[in-house]
Chains A and B, each alone.
Chain A
């Protein structure tokens, strides 16, 4: 094993950490937006991700059946579609359930948990209990090898790019768009925002739907990494929670930093220790830090 090989492995390991960071951030983002804006934790977050994943699977399936020639290009459109489906469903859920529960934040946990159960059973009944994987275009498979011995996973690159894009778009929208302005106004003073003519309930609904839409996109992206089943959401939500909790939930910056911290810790620990031990170590670290700083890494500091 010579130096250049070690260098390659070092680079690939660095990328492994980065791509885990992208995965965790994408998972947590939708949850964090909703929590930050409305103080609601969407327990069905994982299922919205699953919706996105199934959208990709169905698109892949339909492409294969009706337009095999489009196999190489369907994926980006399917990701947009995934956002759209999850967005619509999020809109609906907010309208039917969540908006009645803003006064009872804890109850939203239970109601959205109920939604997650119903969605799981829907997946099982209408799509089937088996795990599925879409047929991915070739440019998402394999590794990109700029030099021999240096294999950068293409799916990792894709998830990283998508995460950067989505995070950038969200940050930009929050700081520049009218929606962002409304969101910030509502977060800092809901009553006042209402009083000056911001339709806070509409802002809430839009935010909830956008959060769900991003979850759908995240789920879509993860079809390049894992498979999709009715209960996949349960796997996703666990990590999403940790990222958001650890980050402090008050700011998106917290979510970004926490995703980065968790990803790097875990990825390095996995490399130098063992897989299972790495998880235990990472989780224990999170617990210890949370015990010392229960409000998470970035807590908001305003007059309460």
Chain B
């Protein structure tokens, strides 16, 4: 075991290092700021994908509503930025200056109560994590404590996504409706739209993403990680070993929600707006495919999956818009049918296994291979 873990640890570290080099050095050198900003946007989705690896790959619970948490995090950040962008001088043309423009259009004459805390930056940062986590806790507590899981849980999360979308669109005076919150300019007086700001935000995003991966990796290697895997396969056994299975699921789901919320906030900062089109069913399912393409068991694979699918989307929608949906459909079907472990699975079964075979042959030892077989689950 120690051998397997040591090997796996080293292998994981190397891949993380390569990813970090790619994101920190290679991409900024290769790409202009526009494309780099796009990568930054994709990386904010990668938070969701990483969360999905934890909750779906490790926890065995598929959520088709991660967009909800991404959106909530994004909205929490957007509310702060929107308030900052709506100072009385810029909005003097409105009937009520000093409130966000969409409120004015909806005949709201005073800042609603729930908006007041978002004047504070620290509260907003707190809300970015806390609001998605709280909702995730409520949903997962109700579901997991009553043993609702599997397909049924997945469609419940969809229902939540749907309901939240309708609420956001319906309460446009408070949320900006279908338009979302646009025209976000500055963060504490710092113009987030300049190239310099975009570089800084990109690096903040990369740093947080790598931090999140490390955090998740640490959880995976702890006993909690082992338990997650165990309860995915033999739920009853874990329960009858004295563990509250629901607690672990709730924890993982909340973790994924918190990560998604951070991703949403970084999205808002980098793109400059937030809209309900991230909350609905379609984006939520798309985010699952990011993780599925990368490999549902691989944190690093999830990042690559996100980058590749989104880059593909940008490329195809620019060059062959008609083909894009077919390709996307093919991805969904192909990944589930042929490569359930995604890119990471392919990589491990082809490249790593061969390399190991070569190495173990050189060493004349067979133990590594057995260890690797264990490492694939």
**Hey, which chain A residues are within 8 Å of B281, CB to CB?**
234, 238
**Residue contact A291 to B142, C-beta cutoff 8 Å:** yes
**Residue contact A107 to B340, C-beta cutoff 8 Å:** yes
A116 to B282, CA, bound (A): 11
Q: A41-B151, A110-B335 are in contact. List 14 more A-B contacts (CB 8 A).
A: A41-B155, A109-B151, A111-B336, A113-B285, A113-B332, A114-B331, A118-B329, A121-B325, A238-B281, A283-B167, A290-B156, A291-B142, A295-B148, A295-B152
In chain A, positions 208-245 with a C-beta closer than 8 Å to chain B are: 234, 238, 241-242, 244-245
Interface of A toward B, CB cutoff 8 Å: 35, 39-41, 43, 97, 100-101, 104-111, 113-118, 120-121, 124-125, 234, 238, 241-242, 244-245, 249, 276-277, 279-280, 283-284, 286-287, 290-292, 294-296
Count A/B pairs, Cβ under 8 Å.
Answer: 123
**Residue contact B150 to A105, C-beta cutoff 8 Å:** yes
**Residue contact B288 to A110, C-beta cutoff 8 Å:** yes
Which listed residue (A109, A114, A116, A117) contacts B154, Cβ 8 A?
A109
**Residue contact A294 to B170, C-beta cutoff 8 Å:** no
The stretch that binds A, out of B71-79, B103-111, B158-166, is B158-166
In chain B, positions 271-330 with a C-beta closer than 8 Å to chain A are: 281-282, 285, 288-289, 292, 322, 325-326, 328-330
**Residue contact A40 to B159, C-beta cutoff 8 Å:** no
Is B337 interfacial (CB 8 A cutoff)? yes
Given A107-B340, A120-B325, A280-B170, is A294 in contact with B151 using a C-beta cutoff of 8 Å? Answer: no
**Residue contact A238 to B322, C-beta cutoff 8 Å:** no
**Hey, which chain A residues are within 8 Å of B330, CB to CB?**
114, 118
Nearest chain-B residue to A111 (Cβ)?
B336
Nearest chain-B residue to A230 (Cβ)?
B325
**Residue contact B159 to A241, C-beta cutoff 8 Å:** yes
Q: Is the interface of B mostly helix, strand, loop or mixed?
A: helix
Interface of B toward A, CB cutoff 8 Å: 56, 62, 64, 138-139, 142-143, 146, 148, 150-152, 154-156, 158-160, 162-163, 166-167, 170-171, 281-282, 285, 288-289, 292, 322, 325-326, 328-333, 335-337, 340
A85 to B92, CA, bound (A): 60
Nearest chain-B residue to A31 (Cβ)?
B155
Given A241-B162, A284-B163, A295-B148, is A110 in contact with B336 using a C-beta cutoff of 8 Å? Answer: yes
Nearest chain-B residue to A274 (Cβ)?
B170
Which listed residue (B56, B142, B329, B333) contacts A294, Cβ 8 A?
B142
Nearest chain-A residue to B148 (Cβ)?
A294
**Hey, which chain B residues are within 8 Å of A284, CB to CB?**
163, 167
**Residue contact A111 to B332, C-beta cutoff 8 Å:** yes
Nearest chain-A residue to B154 (Cβ)?
A109
A108 to B288, CA, bound (A): 13
**Residue contact A101 to B336, C-beta cutoff 8 Å:** yes
A292 to B336, CA, bound (A): 33
**Residue contact A104 to B154, C-beta cutoff 8 Å:** no
A153 to B331, CA, bound (A): 44
**Hey, which chain B residues are within 8 Å of A277, CB to CB?**
170
**Hey, which chain B residues are within 8 Å of A276, CB to CB?**
170
Q: Is the interface of A mostly helix, strand, loop or mixed?
A: helix
* Residue from A110, A242, A292 whose CB has the most chain B CB atoms within 10 Å: A110
A39 to B153, CA, bound (A): 12
**Residue contact A125 to B151, C-beta cutoff 8 Å:** no
A190 to B337, CA, bound (A): 23
A115 to B285, CA, bound (A): 13
A296 to chain B, nearest CB (A): 8
B246 to chain A, nearest CB (A): 12
Which listed residue (A109, A291, A295) contacts B64, Cβ 8 A?
A109
A124 to B332, CA, bound (A): 19
Which listed residue (B56, B160, B336) contacts A114, Cβ 8 A?
B336
Which listed residue (A39, A114, A242) contacts B151, Cβ 8 A?
A39
A243 to chain B, nearest CB (A): 10
Which listed residue (B64, B142, B159, B331) contacts A292, Cβ 8 A?
B142
**Hey, which chain A residues are within 8 Å of B159, CB to CB?**
241-242, 245, 286-287, 290
B336 to chain A, nearest CB (A): 4
Which listed residue (B146, B166, B322) contacts A125, Cβ 8 A?
B322
**Hey, which chain A residues are within 8 Å of B329, CB to CB?**
114-118, 121
**Hey, which chain A residues are within 8 Å of B156, CB to CB?**
245, 290, 294
Nearest chain-A residue to B62 (Cβ)?
A106
B69 to chain A, nearest CB (A): 16
**Hey, which chain A residues are within 8 Å of B325, CB to CB?**
117-118, 120-121, 124
**Residue contact B163 to A286, C-beta cutoff 8 Å:** yes
A266 to chain B, nearest CB (A): 12
Nearest 7 A/B pairs, CB to CB: A114-B332, A118-B329, A121-B325, A117-B329, A114-B333, A291-B142, A107-B336
B169 to chain A, nearest CB (A): 8
A287 to B325, CA, bound (A): 32
**Residue contact B151 to A287, C-beta cutoff 8 Å:** no
Nearest chain-A residue to B146 (Cβ)?
A294
**Hey, which chain B residues are within 8 Å of A41, CB to CB?**
151, 154-155
* Residue from A40, A117, A125 whose CB has the most chain B CB atoms within 10 Å: A117
**Residue contact B322 to A234, C-beta cutoff 8 Å:** no
B306 to chain A, nearest CB (A): 16
**Hey, which chain B residues are within 8 Å of A249, CB to CB?**
152
**Residue contact B151 to A115, C-beta cutoff 8 Å:** no
**Residue contact A294 to B143, C-beta cutoff 8 Å:** yes
**Residue contact A280 to B167, C-beta cutoff 8 Å:** yes
**Hey, which chain B residues are within 8 Å of A245, CB to CB?**
152, 155-156, 159
**Residue contact B166 to A283, C-beta cutoff 8 Å:** yes
